[in-house]
Amino acid sequence: MPRILLTAAGSYGDVAPYTGVGARLREAGHQVTLATHDSYAPLVRAAGLEFRRLPADPRRPGVTGQRRNTGPRALLRTAADFLRELGNGLVDAAGQDADLLLFSTTTAPLGHHLAEALRLPSLDLPLVPGAPTGDFAPVVGGVRSLGRPGNRAAGRLSLRVLDRLHADAARDLRARLGLPPATARTVRRRTEAAGRPVLHGFSEVLLPRPADWPAHLEVVGNWWPWHAPGERLPPVVEDFLAAGPPPVFVGFGSMAAGDGERLGALAASALRRAGLRGVLQSGWADLTVPEHPDLLTVGALPHALLFPRMSAVVHHCGAGTAAAGLRAGVPTVPVPVTADQPFWAARLAALGVATAPLPFRDLSSDHASARLADALARATTPARREHATAAARRLAAEDGAGAVAEAVGRLSA
């Protein structure tokens, strides 16, 4: 069996799904190492995987959507510095003991240089669609269709922007690896021309595979964060759930750092207006609420255990959280912040399992509490719940991690 190095970087949602992939590969008999940031080491080791460190702080402004009043140029500079650190970390993590490299959405553009230098086979495992298509505009940059030719042109432009962002990191990485000079764009186009399989970890229940994609671009279904089979919610959560009707989950994941007190007060006000109980996840925003019998603040908990116990979920619509709500069969109130979140929010609404998106920027308006309360009322109707339950049944038939295990088996044969 090959020794597999799986690399992932970024926020929790960028990393956690790969623990499920790694665990499935380990069950198939592979020796799996997951290289990621120090903060995820306990999660990696709990899944039975070897941990290796990747540098750079994913909570740095500009890396995972955190703005903190920073200008666009500074954000790009910060992201470029993050990528330089990441490239060096990938080299250190790879060492000489890997037989197969698996790359996440974030690590693939730099990982391709590493695979070239080490002459190792690799497999890309992105969480979001990145290849140009006429079906929709690039997932980062809005939800408005530009028409089929316009969507494809915008998709090609987005790849060139990505190439430019990686330019310095790619140059430094190739020099360290002793590779001949080549631009990020050149290496990307070589990789595309090779036609190697690319397995996308999202569900066609939420986003059908584009009809104009080449055959090697596959959509295999979601990968779920690993959690122990016998794991239970903490007693304080179970007690809260038993004390009344199913509450609403509110959380913004890795978004809105430092805005927790205001957001907590807003969520509490909206829940009271709607006559609903709430479970608020602190997240990077450090969401906090005054003590109240109908409100509970929690830390990190597996969505797979918590979401099915909710009446609805309010969140930023990162790819993983959007999928987790769909899997649980509960309606969503999407509050997208940035990047690909408006795209997934619109997809959930189009599927009928979510209300119309309420952009995060609108939560600062004078009427934000009333608007959120109204969205909660619409989300918790029986009809919305029926749509969500039907979508969850379709999603349950997929086995995304199993598809990765099959692909790895073919590469190892």
- Round to whole Å and give the CA distance between 15 and 144: 28
Could you read off the pLDDT of 37-51 as tens digits, one per residue?
Answer: 999 999 999 999 999
Selection from 8, 43, 13, 19 nearest residue 315 by Cα:
13
Q: Are 101 and 65 in contact (CB under 8 A)?
A: no
pLDDT given for residue 72 in this prediction: 63
* Residues lower than pLDDT 50 in the chain: 62, 65-69
Q: Is 221 left (phi over 0), alpha (psi -120 to 50) or beta?
A: left
306 class by beta-carbon count within 10 Å (0-12 exposed, 13-18 middle, 19+ buried) = buried
pLDDT given for residue 394 in this prediction: 96
Amino acid at position 216, single letter: H
- Round to whole Å and give the CA distance between 271 and 278: 7
Tokens of 22: 């790694």
pLDDT given for residue 339 in this prediction: 85
Read off φ and ψ for residue 191, nearest 5 degrees. Answer: -65, -45
CA dihedral for 19, 66, 297, 340, sign (positive or negative)? negative
pLDDT given for residue 57 in this prediction: 67
Look-up of token digits 């008999």: 29
Read off φ and ψ for residue 120, nearest 5 degrees. Answer: -115, 145
pLDDT given for residue 380 in this prediction: 94
* DSSP secondary structure, 86-153, as one string: HHHHHHHHHTT--SEEEE-TTTHHHHHHHHHHHT--EEE--SS--S--SSS--SSS-S---HHHHHHH
